[in-house]
Amino acid sequence: MNTAASIAPMSVAPAAAATVDGLRGLIADWSSDREAFHVSWGKAMMWIFLLSDTFIFSCFLVGYMTVRVSTTVPWPNPSEVFALHVAGADVPLLLIAIMTFVLISSSGTMAMAVNCAYRGDKVNAATLMLVTATCGEIFVGMQAFEWSKLIMEEGVRPWGNPMGAAQFGSAFFMITGFHGLHVSGGVVFLFIVAFKLLRGDYDRGGNYQIVEIVGLYWHFVDLVWVFIFALFYLW
C-alpha cells in the first residue's frame, strides 16, 4: 500500500507540471515575439488581422456594387460630384487625384523606412516613418475637406442627396469613413513606433521587425484605397 501511494503522486505530478510549463511557455513565446508559422508572432498576428480586415472591406465594396447596379434611381456622376472649382472651372476628381498621389507616395517612404530599419539606421527609419505619417495626416485632412464640401455645399446626407440615388450618401460615408479611420489609426501607430525607435526601445537585440509590421498595415491601407478609388470614383 505504501508503494502504491508513493507511485500515484509521481504519475500525476509530471502532468500537472507539464500543464503549467506549457502555459508559461506559451506566454513566454508570445511576449518575447517568438516564431510561429516560420515568422514572428507579431507578423503572424498582423497578417491575421489584415486578412479579417480584407473580408470587411470586401463586404462593403461588394455591397456598394450591388446597390449601385440594382438601384432604379440614377446614380450621381462622380466626375461632377467630386469636381473641384479652380480658376473659374470645375476640374473633375482633382482633389481625389491629389489624395491618391499622396497616399500611394507614402508607401514608398514606408518601404524605405523598413529598409533603413533592417540596416540599423534607426534615425533615417524614424524620419521616413514620420514623413509617412505626415502624408497620412494630409490625406485625412483632404478627406475631411471633401466631406465638409459634400455636406455643406452639396447637401449630401447618409440617408439621401439631391443629386440622385439616396444610397449614394450612406455608401460614400461608410466606405470612405471606415478607410479614413484606418489611415488615422495608422498615423498614430507610425508616430508611436517612430518615437520608440528614436528612444532606443528596440535596440536590445537589434530587432526592428516592428517597423516591417507597421509597413504591412500601411501598405494594406494604401491597397484598399486603390480599390475604393477605382470602384467609387472612377466607375
Same domain for 170 and 142? yes
Q: List the beta bridge partners of residue 91.
A: 84
Domain limits for position 160: 35-233
Same domain for 144 and 167? yes
Same domain for 21 and 64? no
Q: What are phi and psi of 90, to 5 degrees?
A: -90, 115
The pTM for the full model equals 0.82
Q: What is the reported pLDDT for 158? A: 86
Name the amino acid, one letter, at 106: S
Length of the chain equals 235
Same domain for 98 and 40? yes
The pLDDT tens digits of the residues spanning 178-224 come to 999 999 999 999 999 999 999 988 887 667 889 999 999 999 999 99
CA-to-CA distance for 53 and 55, rounded, in angstroms? Answer: 5
Same domain for 211 and 187? yes
Same domain for 83 and 60? yes
Same domain for 20 and 54? no
Same domain for 28 and 62? no
Same domain for 135 and 218? yes
Q: What is the reported pLDDT for 40? A: 76
Q: Residue 91 belongs to a domain with what CATH number?
A: 1.20.120.80
Same domain for 21 and 124? no
CA-to-CA distance for 225 and 232, rounded, in angstroms? Answer: 10
Number of domains in the chain: 2
* Beta-carbon-side half-sphere exposure of residue 8 (alpha carbons within 13 Å): 5
User: What averages of pLDDT result for each successive group of 10 residues across the chain (235 residues)?
Assistant: 43 41 65 61 89 96 93 88 84 92 96 93 95 97 93 86 87 94 97 93 79 96 95 88
Q: What is the reported pLDDT for 208? A: 84
Same domain for 197 and 106? yes
